A and B are shown apart, each in its own frame.
Chain A
Amino acid sequence: DVKVTQSSRYLVKRTGEKVFLECVQDMDHENMFWYRQDPGLGLRLIYFSYDVKMKEKGDIPEGYSVSREKKERFSLILESASTNQTSMYLCASSPPGGGGVPDTQYFGPGTRLTVL
């Protein structure tokens, strides 16, 4: 079974703190994604990566950065946390895809971040 793990289930930080959210997958997937999930808004893509050391902005990258130094690990960084970044953060991975059919995205259990 594919396993995607996230470093914390719950995290409480203060405004202005630097926050690191870690995600690790064990299936050698090329693609990794970071989403935030808010009630009534579904999942919104923050950043994604198709290979080591590469990254692309998603729909809502402002206030976030990412790092992918190793294939299995994709980190989300909040440089200076703000209260409007209080949310559920979900990491996902997927194989490279092909043939026009999207591959399954495998999600971690999520990190519920509260910024006070």
Chain B
Amino acid sequence: TQLLEQSPQFLSIQEGENLTVYCNSSSVFSSLQWYRQEPGEGPVLLVTVVTGGEVKKLKRLTFQFGDARKDSSLHITAAQPGDTGLYLCAGRISGSARQLTFGSGTQLTVLP
């Protein structure tokens, strides 16, 4: 059983469309991170959110941490082919040690 469930698992859209990826858990997280992984490479950190209700923007990407710190979302506006990749959420459970728990991932394909 995954502690962090991501949905959808696969997403294929046309360039210019908007999309939202979700990361949900029944556990409370002290912080949550989003990574992007491109083919043949390791994941690279996009953002860290630490406060319930926090919203962070990174150009066309908007990240939100749920008020109860059990869920997060990633919204991409006007997707581009360069956004294609595997998006992973990762969190540190409140009160736990230093390791991260990773979600199952969302494979995004943006078609030109």
Footprint of B on A, CB under 8 Å? 4, 9, 31, 33, 35, 40-45, 48, 50, 56, 58, 90, 92, 97, 100-102, 104-110
Find out whether the CB atom of B99 lies under 8 angstroms from the CB atom of A40. no
Count contacts on B: residues with CB < 8 A to the other chain: 26
Instruction: Select one of B50, B100, B104 contacting A105, CB under 8 A.
Output: B100
A97 touching B98 in the complex, CB below 8 Å, given contacts A42-B2, A42-B104, A42-B105? yes
Residues on B lying within 8 angstroms of A by beta carbon are 2, 4, 6, 9, 30-31, 33, 40-45, 48, 50, 88, 90, 92, 97-100, 102-105
Candidates B41, B42, B105; contact of A92 at CB < 8 Å:
B42
CA distance A97 to B45 in the complex (A): 15
Tell me whether A41 and B104 are in contact (CB under 8 A). Answer: yes
Residues from chain B with Cβ under 8 Å of A33 in the complex: 99
User: A45 with B2: in contact, given A92-B42, A101-B50, A109-B40 (CB under 8 Å)?
Assistant: no
Chain B residues near A90 (CB, 8 Å)? 42-43
* With known contacts A33-B99, A50-B98, A101–B2 Cβ distance under 8 A: no
In the complex, chain B residues whose CB is within 8 Å of the CB of A4: 42
List the B residue with the shortest CB-CB distance to A104: B45
Chain B minimum-CB-distance residue to A43: B102
CA gap between A66 and B94 in the complex, in Å: 27
A-side contacts of B42, CB under 8 Å? 4, 90, 92, 106-110
11 example contacts (A-B, Cβ-Cβ < 8 A) are as follows A4-B42, A9-B40, A42-B2, A42-B103, A45-B99, A50-B98, A56-B97, A97-B98, A105-B90, A107-B43, A107-B44
